[in-house]
């Protein structure tokens, strides 16, 4: 992954879960900190992460992110981390209590959308999401293609 510049808010995106918006209806989002080891932070600074099948769970009033792949940092060969380890997310008690209630409802999941640096700290954008059915996914694709066609037509007709 190439180095990306910081935007006006001091945010540098490391990686995004691009499938999430296709597979889920995003109901709500919140920002969480994440507990990392030193080699994980160095690997993230190089942009070596993947959130393809990543999700979060609430376990004993703590929130954990699972299946997020952070590649090993090559210079630290003997002190490296497990790339797929379970990582704790840092949230306030009231946020965790709300997530416990939402995650117990049928059909709702906790999906990390993106991993980014904000003022030097690694943050996760966590979404409360409901899974889409196949026909919902097809409708989304049709709507996006129709919007593109409209945008193209408008661009052609502009003087």
Structure tokens of 27?
């109901």
What is the per-residue pLDDT across 25-59, written as a single tens digit (0 to 9) for each? Answer: 899 999 999 999 888 888 898 888 888 889 999 98
Looking at the domain covering 12-132, what would its CATH class be? mainly beta
List Cβ<8 Å contacts ≥24 apart for 52-57: 52/17, 52/19, 54/17, 54/111, 54/112, 55/109, 55/110, 55/111, 55/112, 56/89, 56/110, 56/111, 56/112, 56/126, 57/103, 57/110
Report whether pLDDT(1) > 70. Answer: no
Is it the case that residue 4 has pLDDT exceeding 70?
Answer: no
- The span from the CA of 135 to the CA of 57, in Å, is 27
pLDDT in tens, 96-149: 999 988 888 888 889 999 999 998 899 999 999 888 888 888 888 898 999 999
What residue segments make up the domains of the chain, in order of their start? 12-132
Question: For 105, which DSSP code?
Answer: S
Residue 78 has pLDDT above 60, yes or no: yes
Work out the angle at residue 38's Cα, subtended by the Cα atoms of residues 32 and 42, and round it to the nearest 5 degrees. Answer: 90
Supply angle C-alpha 112, 117, 123, rounded to 5: 35
How far, in Å, CA of 134 to CA of 140, rounded?
10
């Amino acid at each position: 992954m190439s180095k990306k510049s910081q935007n006006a808010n001091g945010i540098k995106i490391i990686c995004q879960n691009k499938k999430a918006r296709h597979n889920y209806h995003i109901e709500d989002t919140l920002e969480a900190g994440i507990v990392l080891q030193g080699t994980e932070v160095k690997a993230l600074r190089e942009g070596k992460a993947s959130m393809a099948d990543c999700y979060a769970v609430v376990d004993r009033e703590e929130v954990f992110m699972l299946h997020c792949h952070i590649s090993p940092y090559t210079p630290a060969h003997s002190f490296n981390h497990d790339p797929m380890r379970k990582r704790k997310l840092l949230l306030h008690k009231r946020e965790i209590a709300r997530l416990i209630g939402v995650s117990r409802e049928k059909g709702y999941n906790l999906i990390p959308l993106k991993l980014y640096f904000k003022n030097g700290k690694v943050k996760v954008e966590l979404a409360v999401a409901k899974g889409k059915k196949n026909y919902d996914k097809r409708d989304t694709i049709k709507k996006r293609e129709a919007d593109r066609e409209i945008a193209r037509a408008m661009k052609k007709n502009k003087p």
